[in-house]
């Protein structure tokens, strides 16, 4: 496994991390034993960067990682997040970035995870009613207290990043980025590189769509949140978006790899500061994702992939109207 620098003195981590969200909810039923086996397998194969959040499974995801961390804490760089407060269903949520809440959320995450310090602590979303300087100032206090090693932001604009970075060095920015979500190219990708901030794409495989395995809404579980909260997966939009996956699949066949591997290799090729965190619940796909890091893309390969889905050509927004309100553009 190759390594990349996470930024702000957090050191090197595996070039590909593991997003753990789906091990608790969102993508249909999950199996605890299988999830734990996948975590162990990922570490054994060289993945050292693991991503969770307090809102995933309403705390369940952090609790799931507890025993895994207890066995391997010194081998793992652990990222978690605060800010999305849910008291029930997915749509029933609010954003809290106040200093009092940050301190409370941090203590709760440390307890669920069973650790003394969080390596990378993200503000999951920002509430515009709370100045980012105030939020980052409270996060910086956690660094001073030894409860957090590095700070991160998620789904923020370049302007917000610069304001935050002026208060305390930001180690990483996490945003959705893939062949079918090119938004970061309009503003945040280059400023991250300029400031020495790692860029961490979540859903680098388009929430599974770029694997080529989703051809219909019926390929997803009845309680899969893509069916209710992801306009791109609505029946009509999904059918229109299949054309780009078919083109990706054809290119992958010519390279002797899977569509997922080619899509992930494209993300990795966007810069040495880019560290994607594809999520999976099975060892098989961990191996498939890791193999993408070894793929070598030519300039012609990258150009061809760029043309598969130019910005603005994908049908459907990536979140509902409510969800997009919390994306800082």
Which has the closest alpha carbon to 48: 20, 18, 76?
76
Residue 177 annotated as catalytic: no
Q: Which of 27, 56, 101, 285 is catalytic?
A: 56
Q: What is the DSSP letter of 209?
A: G
DSSP one-letter code for 195: H
Q: Mark 14-51 as b/e (b = at least 16 C-beta within 10 Å).
A: bbbbbbbbbbbbbbeebeeeebeebbebbbeeebbbbb
The percent of the chain in helix, strand and coil, each rounded to the nearest 5, is 45, 15, 35
Q: Tokens for 73?
A: 């804490």
| 3-state SS assignment for residue 144 | helix
Residue 123 — φ and ψ, nearest 5°? Answer: -80, 110
CB-based contact 193:273 (threshold 8 Å): yes
Q: Which of 317, 328, 325 is nearest to 93 (CA)?
A: 325
d(CA 47, CA 17): 6
- Contact in structure between 92 and 48 (CB atoms under 8 Å): no
Torsion of CA 223, 228, 233, 236, to 10 degrees: 120
CA distance 97 to 4: 29
Residues carrying an active site annotation: 56
């Amino acid at each position: 496994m190759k390594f990349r620098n996470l930024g702000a003195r957090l050191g090197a981590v595996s070039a590909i991390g593991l997003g753990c969200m789906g091990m608790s909810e969102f993508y249909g039923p999950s199996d605890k034993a299988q999830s734990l086996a996948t975590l162990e397998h990922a570490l054994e194969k060289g993945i050292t960067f693991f991503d969770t959040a307090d809102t995933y499974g309403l705390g369940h995801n952090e609790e799931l990682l507890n025993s895994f961390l207890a066995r391997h804490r010194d081998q793992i760089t652990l990222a978690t997040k605060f800010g999305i407060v849910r008291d029930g269903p997915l749509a029933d949520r609010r954003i809290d970035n106040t200093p009092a809440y940050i301190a409370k959320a941090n203590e709760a995450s440390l307890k669920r995870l069973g650790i003394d310090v969080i390596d990378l602590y993200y503000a999951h979303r920002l509430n515009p009613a709370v100045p980012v300087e105030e939020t980052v100032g409270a996060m910086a206090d956690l660094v001073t207290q030894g409860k957090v090693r590095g700070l991160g932001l998620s789904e923020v604009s370049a302007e917000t990043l610069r304001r935050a970075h002026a208060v305390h060095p930001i180690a990483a920015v996490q945003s959705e980025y893939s062949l079918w979500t090119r938004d970061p190219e309009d503003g945040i990708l280059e400023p991250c590189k300029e400031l020495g901030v790692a860029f961490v794409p979540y859903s680098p495989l388009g929430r599974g769509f770029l694997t080529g395995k989703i051809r219909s809404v019926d390929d997803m579980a009845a309680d899969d949140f893509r069916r209710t909260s992801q306009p791109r997966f609505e029946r009509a939009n999904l059918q229109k978006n299949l054309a780009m996956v078919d083109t990706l699949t054809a290119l992958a066949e010519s390279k002797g790899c899977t569509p997922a591997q080619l899509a992930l290799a494209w993300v990795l090729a966007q810069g040495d500061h880019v560290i994607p965190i594809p999520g999976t619940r099975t060892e098989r796909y961990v191996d498939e994702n890791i193999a993408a890091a070894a793929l070598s893309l030519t300039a012609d390969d990258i150009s061809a992939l760029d043309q598969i889905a130019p910005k603005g050509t994908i049908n459907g927004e990536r979140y509902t109207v409510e969800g997009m309100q919390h994306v800082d553009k």
